[in-house]
């Protein structure tokens, strides 16, 4: 079973329906024990970084998520589920993250482009994670965000995307796959990622 972590923020039903559509057993959970017992962990989310961290902490989910990652359980982070892996965010002042990866979350610089970055955009693949089987370079995925991650370690960057600047749109290291875009909103290609994650969990 894959645990979809419910901490009060995020498009959980769409993620759950996406997994069900590709035949993957993924269930919404709200407690640390369910994360401990799961074979894989999915952390979706939209909204403010500081609220995400507060809710995860209040619900005592933070340690369970970090424990799962450290044990090598497959982890899929979506949008906020990517951002909270990093050291800190500058949204609403400095807020500490989970520090799974060193780096920070910053706002898009002022430009003629609208923020949030919302809609379809392409991925420039730097390295291809196993959950991306059958997905080509420069494919389109759905984004909605005002902040992006700046990893200290360039080696974890799996893809970048251009929106006025080139920003990190996906990271991958070992058992951790995390993306700024929303696979559950990215139609057939997004479903391929969810299916690929399910296959990775089976083999883990």
Question: CA gyration radius for the chain?
Answer: 15
Please say whether the beta carbons of 97 and 82 come within 8 A: no
**Residue-by-residue DSSP string for 79-101:** THHHHTTEEEE-TTS-EE---SE
User: Phi then psi for 37, rounded to 5 degrees?
Assistant: -85, -10
Please say whether the beta carbons of 196 and 127 come within 8 A: no
Could you give the residue numbers annotated as active site?
Answer: 79, 182, 184
* Pairwise CA distance, residues 125 & 157, whole Å: 9
């Amino acid at each position: 079973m894959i645990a979809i972590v419910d901490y009060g923020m995020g498009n959980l039903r769409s993620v759950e329906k996406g997994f069900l559509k590709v035949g993957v057993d993924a269930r919404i959970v709200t407690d640390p024990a369910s994360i401990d017992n799961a074979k894989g962990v999915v952390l979706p989310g939209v909204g403010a970084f500081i609220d995400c961290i507060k809710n995860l902490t209040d619900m005592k989910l933070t340690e369970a998520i970090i424990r799962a990652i450290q044990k090598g359980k497959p982890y899929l982070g979506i949008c906020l589920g990517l951002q909270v892996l990093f050291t800190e965010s500058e949204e609403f002042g400095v807020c500490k993250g989970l520090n799974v990866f060193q780096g920070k979350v910053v706002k898009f610089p002022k430009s003629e482009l609208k923020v949030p970055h919302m809609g379809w955009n392409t991925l420039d693949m730097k390295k291809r994670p196993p959950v991306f089987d059958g997905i080509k370079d420069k494919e389109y995925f759905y984004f909605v965000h005002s902040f992006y991650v700046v990893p200290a370690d360039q080696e974890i960057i799996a893809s970048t995307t251009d929106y006025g600047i080139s920003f990190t749109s996906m990271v991958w290291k070992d058992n951790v796959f995390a993306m700024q875009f929303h696979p559950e909103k990215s139609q057939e290609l997004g479903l391929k990622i969810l299916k690929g994650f399910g296959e990775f969990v089976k083999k883990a």
